[in-house]
A and B are shown apart, each in its own frame.
Chain A
Amino acid sequence: MTETDVKVVYKRPLGFTDRTTHYCPGCTHGVAHRLIAEVLEEMGELNNTIGVAPVGCAVFAYNYFNFDFVEAAHGRAPAMATGIKRTLPNKIVFTYQGDGDLASMGMGEIVAAAARGEHFTVIFINNTNYGMTGGQMAPTTLPGQKTSSSPLGRDVETQGYPIRTAELLATLDGAAFVARRSLHDARSIRNAKRAIRTAFEAQKQGLGFSMIELLSICPTNWGLKPAAARTWLAEHMLPYYPVGDFKVSTAVSEMKIGGN
Chain B
Amino acid sequence: MALELIKGNIAVAEAAMRAGLVSYFGYPITPQTELLEHLSARMPELGRAFVQAESELGAINMVYGAACTGLRAMTSSSSPGISLMQEGLSYLAGTELPAVIVDVVRGGPGLGNIAPSQADYTQVVHGGGHGEYHLIVLAPASVQEAVDLTTMAFDIAEKYRMVVCLLLDGFIGQMMEPVELPEFKPVRTTPPAWAIGSPDSKGQVVLTSINIDPPTQERFNVKMMTRWQEVEKNEVRYKGYFLDDAEYVVIGYGTAGRISLSAVRAAREQGLKIGLVRPISLSPFPAKVVDELADRVKGFLVVEMSNGQMLDDIISIVARRVPVEFYGRMGGMVPYPDEISNAISALVNGKHDVNIDARAEWLAGLRELVGTGE
- Residues of A at the B interface (CB closer than 8 Å) are 17, 50, 52-53, 59, 62, 65-73, 76, 79-84, 86-88, 91, 108-109, 111-112, 116
Contacts and interface: CB of A to CB of B under 8 A. Distances in A.
Q: Point out which of B49, B73, B209 has the most chain A C-beta atoms below 10 A from its C-beta.
A: B49
A81 B206 contact: no
B204 A84 contact: no
A9 B191 CA distance: 38
A83 B210 contact: no
A64 to B, nearest CB: 11
B209 A112 contact: no
A82 B62 contact: yes
Nearest to A110: B54
Nearest to A79: B61
Interface of B: 22-23, 25, 49, 51, 53-55, 57-59, 61-69, 71, 73, 87-88, 91, 95, 191, 196-197, 201, 203-210
Given A87-B71, A108-B57, A68 B65 contact: no
Contacts of A59: 210
Contact of B65 (A17, A52, A62, A65): A52
A84 B208 contact: no
A112 B58 contact: yes
Contact of A87 (B61, B73, B95): B73
Contact of B57 (A17, A76, A81, A88): A76
A50 B196 contact: yes
A121 B201 CA distance: 24
Contacts of B64: 72-73, 76, 79-80, 83
B196 A83 contact: no
Given A86-B23, A108-B55, A112-B58, 13 more contacts: A62-B206, A67-B204, A70-B95, A71-B95, A72-B61, A76-B87, A82-B65, A83-B23, A83-B62, A83-B63, A83-B66, A108-B58, A109-B58
Given A50-B196, A69-B204, A73-B91, A84 B65 contact: yes
Given A66-B204, A68-B204, A69-B206, A87 B65 contact: yes
A50 B88 CA distance: 20
B50 to A, nearest CB: 8
B205 A68 contact: yes
Contact of B73 (A17, A65, A72, A83): A83
Contacts of B53: 79, 82, 112
A86 B55 contact: no
Output the residue of B25, B61, B64 with the most chain A CB within 10 A: B61
Contacts of B208: 53, 62, 69-71
A209 B300 CA distance: 58
Given A81-B65, A83-B62, A86-B66, A70 B196 contact: yes
A86 B197 CA distance: 13
Contact of A91 (B57, B91, B197, B209): B197
A83 B210 CA distance: 20
24 contacts: A62-B206, A70-B95, A70-B196, A70-B208, A72-B61, A73-B64, A79-B54, A79-B58, A82-B58, A83-B23, A83-B62, A83-B64, A83-B68, A84-B65, A84-B66, A84-B68, A87-B22, A87-B23, A87-B71, A88-B69, A88-B196, A91-B197, A108-B58, A112-B54
A84 B196 contact: yes
B206 A73 contact: no
A143 B134 CA distance: 46
Contacts of A91: 197
A109 B54 contact: yes
A53 B59 CA distance: 18
A88 B190 CA distance: 9
Contact of A84 (B69, B87, B88): B69
A86 B58 contact: no
B60 to A, nearest CB: 8
Given A86-B51, A88-B69, A79 B204 contact: no
Contacts of A52: 65
Contacts of A84: 65-66, 68-69, 196-197
B162 to A, nearest CB: 18
Contacts of B66: 83-84, 86-87
Nearest to A17: B204
Nearest to B205: A68
A73 B87 CA distance: 8
A65 B206 CA distance: 10
B54 to A, nearest CB: 3
A83 B68 CA distance: 9
A78 to B, nearest CB: 8
A230 B23 CA distance: 44
State the 3 A-B residue pairs at the shortest beta-carbon distance, nearest first. A83-B65, A112-B54, A71-B208
